[in-house]
Structure 1
């Protein structure tokens, strides 16, 4: 039986599925619908779309997500290339991840030159799925961060078609997703103080990216011209829908929001309705299995655990982080300003880019470079001034 935590699990996966015919799809809608049904889209795999069933009793969420990511990437490869050869797929996947991995954070460089391609892909998938599990509560990471793993699949689809891909694609897609989720939280009818905390987190994250959501922004004013294919649009609709979910109800205002979003994305009302119905079905039937929804106040739990996790990360790497920050006078001055006033968009972009460059040099902080890492960055920025020496504020006056 396959063990996703043991070396050689990718080869074992393909051996176990060797005698089966890879699943075929009629079109992109069929691909997306069957992928969504597994729960992978929402970061919680219920099963795997494989001919030879995989038993995963006792597996961790990380282990299920690793198989889910591998299987979905492989199905995308088969769907686009019409080639089911595992070796060819693995080689293509390695080239893809080599192109989208930020410079200075490349798992391939950490491996022995003699490592097999499947071993290298195992390491990369571990890096993409693993969210520093010792420090991040499972109740937090695997609903939001792993829900963003589908951006890897979308980027892989684009890469297969063009043989080239840029990290800018995933970054832009995340910006659109966080913008839509932020707006969906604002229109949520039965909003609690905990929803407001999550909204604040999303708002902060969006402001540290190129796309900024102002108080006057609406779903009608957002620019979706970047989204070129249906899979991207379906994904955005579903993530907006799950963020609006509340007690198995979608109120009129929330329904209007989703239908308006669908029209902006040129998606049929029929698909939007199916999205609403599926999300209700998914959460109602599997609520007890999803850690995020088990907690009485899941959003507060999410927010608290996120803050605590970042605090632990920063504290454990305090000396190295301070050393790196203090070497940049501009960053120190900007962080000092951030404690007394809101930074403008240009200043925020500088802080974000410089901190991400620092995170690339500290292995434990590479969590901020993974899918969904942008949601954690505002908490990091807010916390950093507290760990800097007393001379920190003096730099502001220089």
Structure 2
């Protein structure tokens, strides 16, 4: 029976064909190791927690992610409630998302009563996986900015354990992830433009935290993580390692940093048993992994975005010069940005005034779309280079 995860009814078909073949795990570590090996955490799915062979040759990345996400949730459910079946799992997962939807999330329509249980779940999963696909990222990098999808699995675990879930949990997990990612990138000696953009792409996948400006102090975050569940601590450690491995190199200082994290998270014994699944996965699939292959998507995004912005500025430079000439403060700040780092307040002013200009130039409204703010630093970079010399002179003044 062929399954197409993009067509309604796929979950019912999948449960009929594979629910009895799903892997059963006896403890949290074996479950998390299997999630690592599946690739769901790393954005490249290669396995589905199923003992039987699955023909996924016709599935795209999103379709593979849907199935991997569903099976990861079901296997977790079976770990917590071994005597339960797939029907009970569906009902409990929908209840979990119903609790979240009380805060008016975009998938509220997916849990209206007239839908069949499996169809409700299909709509929810589709939304959770694709809701972060913004127009900019989709158009120029073809990557799903959904690096933190596994937080849903951790939240479902909390719901199963406590019988309740608060949005505060999601926000705190996002803050912990971003704090560790930023701290890990700071450890790297050779930072690149791609590291900065990597942070922006992660930020763009946040659902509950507005930006890294809201992040807590690193030491405070690390001190709280020790009280998290094993699954949460293992996941956060993997996120930190992912940031370090974005250049495929881990030097001595980075290794010391990771060893300190492992001790701080009280994971020394578990890491030995885990046998470094992240590094194994990278070695096995680095030619396909989004963050490690030769067609690095962050570089792909960056390079394609540069070309696009260059064309936009050239085509609209007369209008841009006119609009910029009417904003003396913006010209002054742009000039300052070429020589020194702007303050936080100055950056906010530049962003606001540039977006106001983009509103008045139809071709530049792309910067107003979801994710468009990722491209503003590139716009700022190209303005002095591509506009007339008189404008450059104004910048120097």
TM-score by length of structure 1 reads 0.70
Query: Does the CA-based 8 Å contact 1:259-1:269 persist in structure 2?
Result: no
In structure 2, what is the equivalent of residue 10 of structure 1? 11
Q: CA RMSD for the aligned pairs?
A: 4.0
Change in CA separation of 1:32 and 1:138 when aligned onto 2, cut-off 3 Å: farther
Change in CA separation of 1:200 and 1:106 when aligned onto 2, cut-off 3 Å: closer
* 1:112 to partner: Cα distance: 6.1
For the residue of structure 1 that corresponds to 2:115, the secondary structure is: coil
For the residue of structure 1 that corresponds to 2:170, the secondary structure is: helix
Measured in 1, the distance between the counterparts of 2:27 and 2:268 equals 16
Measured in 1, the distance between the counterparts of 2:90 and 2:36 equals 23
* 1:100 to partner: Cα distance: 1.9
In structure 1, what is the equivalent of residue 319 of structure 2? none
In structure 2, what is the equivalent of residue 141 of structure 1? 143
For the pair 1:55 / 2:55, whether they are aligned, the reply is yes
In structure 1, what is the equivalent of residue 266 of structure 2? 266
Query: Which shifted more, 60-69 or 236-245?
Result: 236-245
* 1:203 to partner: Cα distance: 8.2
* 1:303 to partner: Cα distance: 4.9
Larger radius of gyration: 2
Query: Does the CA-based 8 Å contact 2:3-2:10 persist in structure 1?
Result: yes
In structure 2, what is the equivalent of residue 183 of structure 1? 183
Q: Which runs of 5+ in 1 are unaligned?
A: 310-337, 352-366, 369-375, 384-398
* 1:295 to partner: Cα distance: 4.4
In structure 1, what is the equivalent of residue 120 of structure 2? 120
Q: Deviations over 1:268-305 (max 9, x none)?
A: 16607956x43332223212223443445543334567
Give the paired residue count.
327
Measured in 1, the distance between the counterparts of 2:272 and 2:376 equals 37
TM-score by length of structure 2 reads 0.70
In structure 1, what is the equivalent of residue 31 of structure 2? 31
Query: Does the CA-based 8 Å contact 1:17-1:52 persist in structure 2?
Result: yes
For the residue of structure 2 that corresponds to 1:289, the secondary structure is: coil
Measured in 2, the distance between the counterparts of 1:165 and 1:305 equals 40
Change in CA separation of 1:113 and 1:98 when aligned onto 2, cut-off 3 Å: closer
Query: Does the CA-based 8 Å contact 2:6-2:63 persist in structure 1?
Result: yes
Change in CA separation of 1:67 and 1:200 when aligned onto 2, cut-off 3 Å: closer
Measured in 2, the distance between the counterparts of 1:192 and 1:72 equals 34
Measured in 2, the distance between the counterparts of 1:54 and 1:242 equals 28
Name the structure, 1 or 2, with higher relative contact order (CA <8 Å, separation 6+). Answer: 1
For 1:1-398, list aligned pairs within 5 A: 1-20=2-21, 22-101=22-101, 103-109=103-109, 113-130=113-130, 131-132=132-133, 136=138, 139=141, 141-142=143-144, 145-199=145-199, 208=211, 211-212=214-215, 220=219, 222-225=221-224, 227-245=227-245, 248-268=248-268, 271=271, 274=274, 277-296=276-295, 298-303=297-302, 342-343=344-345, 376=371, 379=374
